[in-house]
Structure 1
Amino acid sequence: MLWQRGLNARLKPFGLTQPQFAILAVCGWMARDGQYVTQRAVVDFLGMDRMHVSQIAMRLERDKLIERPASKADQRSKLVEITPLGRERLTGAVPVVEAYDQEFFAAKEVK
């Protein structure tokens, strides 16, 4: 919880929480080769509760960071697409998260 609290403080200027960042980062990573990303694939990759991911995704969509159109192959399935604003936030947040992780875990090794 200490790690998550600290990371949330670092992500606050980006308007993100750690779980929101995780979902954006996974979507960005999974779509890097132009692949379609389903919400189910995000759930499976992160190992998070599907309803929790759905709630977070709705918030990200409301904040215009992702879009969630229905899949043409299966109308029950939602695709997750990062918007230009979402990509901008993610691009800014990644180095902050990496620096925080390095700082946090280096401090743990010293103790």
Structure 2
Amino acid sequence: MSDEGLQTEFGHADESPGLLLWQVTNRWQAAQRAALAPFELTHVQFVLLASLTYLAISGEPVMQRDLAAQAATDPMMTSQVLRALEQKGLIERRDHPSDRRAKSLVPTEAGAALANRAVVAVEACDREFFGPLGARTGQFTTDLRSLRDRRL
């Protein structure tokens, strides 16, 4: 075993933005899991159901790829989660109006109602979790968007 320890550019672990993001994300996800437990939804199920409910307002057909892009989720994982939501009766796959080979997605009435009840709990959880940022919350959100939108 080496006595040199970890060869890092940081003098202390709390200086690493990646480690801090990991730790904060884990705590935020735990808070979201607790907030969503009464609705019997996982966080990814909520995100996809809420995103579909949001996108469906336009009246345009929503394809699985559109939903995955909106939610920034892996297409294969999106497919698996959509199957679970469909089995719960929260979404439906319908024939696409202009492409006979394709299916479009729509939330069921029960799915849209559940998304709208759950979003209240999710947003309350976010207010509590990010509350210590106070007036800096808007700038934090802007900074997160800039990181999300970077092309690597």
When normalised by structure 1's length, the TM-score is: 0.88
Q: Does structure 1 conserve the Cα–Cα contact (< 8 Å) formed by 2:36 and 2:43?
A: yes
Q: What residue is the counterpart of 2:80 in the other structure?
A: 55
Q: Which has the higher Rg, Structure 1 or Structure 2?
A: 2
Contact 2:61 2:97 in 1 (8 A): no
Match of 1:77 in 2: 102
Instruction: Compare relative contact order (CA 8 Å, sep 6+) and give the higher one, 1 or 2.
Output: 1
Please show how residues 33-44 of structure 1 align to structure 2 within 5 Å. Answer: 33-44=58-69
Measured in 1, the distance between the counterparts of 2:63 and 2:116 equals: 21
Indicate the RMSD between aligned Cα atoms, in angstroms.
1.6
User: How does the TM-score come out when normalised to structure 2?
Assistant: 0.66
Q: How far apart, CA to CA, are the structure 1 residues paired with 2:101 and 2:44?
A: 24
Please, which runs of 5 or more residues in structure 1 have no aligned partner? none
Could you tell me which of 100, 105, 111 is aligned with 2:130? 105
Cα shift readout 1:58-110 (whole Å, capped 9, x = no counterpart): 00000000001242433443311100110111111111111100100113x27
Q: How many residues align?
A: 109
Aligned partners of 1:39 and 1:77 also within 8 Å: no
